[in-house]
């Protein structure tokens, strides 16, 4: 029986190997184009490129094209698209409670491991005891954050959102660490259903 299985497996390996060889030998060779003397000089392409540059230069002189922005006096903010993803922030609900329930899903999913959460326990006598946990510490290292939005996607409590802030600066590494209080200050209040705290859930 073992011998039969081995020969069966060997036969299939041979067939798969043979098929791979056939596919490999079927590879298409793309021939390099033969350039004529004009194309080998590259001059027509250079002239065409310069013509585009001069066209933009002329439009800029005539005030038809604006190619620079006086940042930071002028900002992008009003032109940012709805789907723009900026820095992440934590939000509170209408009653001022932190929505995050310290499930740590965002910490787990964050690709550059920018999030660090230390959960705290909610006392059993508390009105919201069924939530069990709250974030005692919630830090996002903004040097690491790549604004990918995975934390927002994965959050079951709609507690973390990517806002439109993109100018996140600081003089030290410590400045770039957004702690819970700062994240909540940036996030503000978000209206809507909070699943675990909703008595009907
Ligand atoms: S936006 Fe992406 S990188 Fe930034 S904290 Fe969220 S999951 Fe991490
Ligand atoms: S922000 Fe959302 S995903 Fe992250 S720990 Fe809090 S509840 Fe969980």
User: What are 87-119's pLDDT values in tens digits?
Assistant: 999 999 888 889 999 999 999 999 999 999 999
Q: Based on the number of CB atoms within 10 Å of its own CB, is 147 exposed (0-12), middle (13-18) or buried (19 or more)?
A: middle
CA distance to 3, 17, 21, per residue, from 7 (Å)? 6, 15, 21
The one-character DSSP state at 126 is: S
Which atom of ligand 1 has the smallest separation from the CA of 106?
7
Ligand nearest to the CA of 178: 1
CA dihedral of residues 137, 140, 188, 153 (deg, nearest 10): -110
Measure CA 164 to chain center: 13
The arithmetic mean of pLDDT across residues 10-17, rounded, is 50
- The helix (run of H) or strand (run of E) holding residue 160 is strand 160-162
Q: Output the residue whose Cα is nearest ligand 1's atom 4.
A: 145
How far is the centre of ligand 1, averaged over its atoms, from the C-alpha of 128 (Å)?
28
What predicted TM-score, i.e. pTM, was given to this entire model? 0.67
């Amino acid at each position: 029986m073992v011998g039969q299985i081995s020969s069966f497996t060997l036969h299939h390996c041979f067939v798969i190997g043979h098929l791979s060889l056939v596919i490999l030998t079927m590879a298409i060779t793309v021939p390099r184009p033969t350039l004529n003397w004009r194309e080998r000089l590259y001059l027509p392409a250079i002239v065409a490129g310069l013509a585009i540059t001069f066209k933009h230069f002329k439009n800029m002189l005539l005030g038809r094209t604006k190619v620079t922005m006086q940042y930071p006096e002028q900002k992008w903010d009003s032109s940012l698209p709805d789907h723009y993803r900026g820095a992440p922030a934590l939000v509170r609900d209408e009653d001022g409670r932190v929505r995050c329930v310290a499930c740590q899903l965002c910490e787990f999913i964050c690709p550059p491991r920018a999030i660090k959460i230390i959960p705290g326990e909610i006392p059993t006598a508390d009105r919201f005891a069924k939530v069990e946990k709250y974030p005692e510490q919630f830090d996002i290292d903004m040097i690491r954050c790549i604004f990918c939005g995975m934390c927002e996607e994965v959050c079951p409590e709609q507690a973390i959102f990517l806002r439109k802030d993109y100018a996140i600066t600081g003089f030290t590494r410590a400045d770039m660490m957004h702690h819970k209080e700062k994240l909540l200050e940036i996030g503000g209040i978000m209206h809507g259903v909070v699943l675990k705290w909703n008595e009907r859930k």
